Amino acid sequence: MMHYGHANALRQAKAMGDYLVVGVHSDAEIEKNKGPTVMREQERYDAVAACKWVDEVVPNAPYNTTVEILQKYNIDFCVHGDDITTMADGTDCYQAVKDAGLYRECKRTKGVSTTELVGRMLLMTKDHHKRPLTPNTSSILAINSQNLDMFSASGPVAQRTAVYHFLPASKRIVQFSEGHSPKPTDRIIYVDGTFDLFHVGHVEFLKRAKALGDYMIVGIHDDQTVNAIKGANYPLMNLLERALSVLACRYVDEVIIGAPYSVGDEILLGEHKVDLVIHGNHPSGPDIDGNDPYLIPKQRGIYREVENPNATITTRGIIDRIIQNRLVYEERQRRKNAKAALEAEQEALRNAN
pLDDT tens by residue, 68-85: 999 999 999 999 998 778
Rounded Cα distance between 3 and 19, Å, is 21
> Between 200-210 and 41-49, two packed helices, what is the crossing angle to 10 degrees?
40
Q: Which of 20, 42, 257, 253 is nearest to 138 (CA)?
A: 257
Q: What single-letter DSSP state applies at residue 249?
A: B
Write down the pLDDT at residue 194: 95
End-to-end CA distance of the chain: 36
Write down the pLDDT at residue 130: 56
Between residues 26 and 160, the one the model is more confident about: 26
What does residue 189 show for φ and ψ, rounded to 5 degrees?
-105, 145
Write down the pLDDT at residue 111: 74
Q: Is the pTM of this model over 0.85?
A: no
Sign of the alpha-carbon torsion through 156, 149, 225, 113: negative
Give domain 4-119's CATH superfamily.
Answer: HUPs (3.40.50.620)
Asked whether the predicted pLDDT for residue 56 surpasses 50, the reply is: yes
| 340: exposed, middle or buried (Cβ count in 10 Å: 0-12, 13-18, 19+) | middle
Residue intervals of the chain classified under CATH 3.40.50.620 are 4-119, 130-313
Q: pLDDT tier at 154 (50, 70, 90 boundaries)? A: very low
CA dist 259 → 22, 172, 226, 335 (Å) = 33, 19, 11, 39
Asked whether the predicted pLDDT for residue 151 surpasses 50, the reply is: no
Write down the pLDDT at residue 283: 79
Q: pLDDT tier at 269 (50, 70, 90 boundaries)? A: very high
Q: pLDDT tier at 313 (50, 70, 90 boundaries)? A: confident
pLDDT in tens, 160-184: 233 333 445 677 888 888 768 899 9
Q: pLDDT tier at 213 (50, 70, 90 boundaries)? A: very high
**Lowest mean pLDDT across 63-67, 210-214, 228-232:** 228-232
For domain 130-313, is the CATH number 1.10.10.10?
no
Decide: 33 and 63 in contact? Cβ < 8 Å: yes
Of all residues in the chain, what percent carry a pLDDT higher than 90?
A: 51
Mean pLDDT of 290-300: 96
Write down the pLDDT at residue 63: 92
Q: pLDDT tier at 21 (50, 70, 90 boundaries)? A: very high
Write down the pLDDT at residue 125: 57
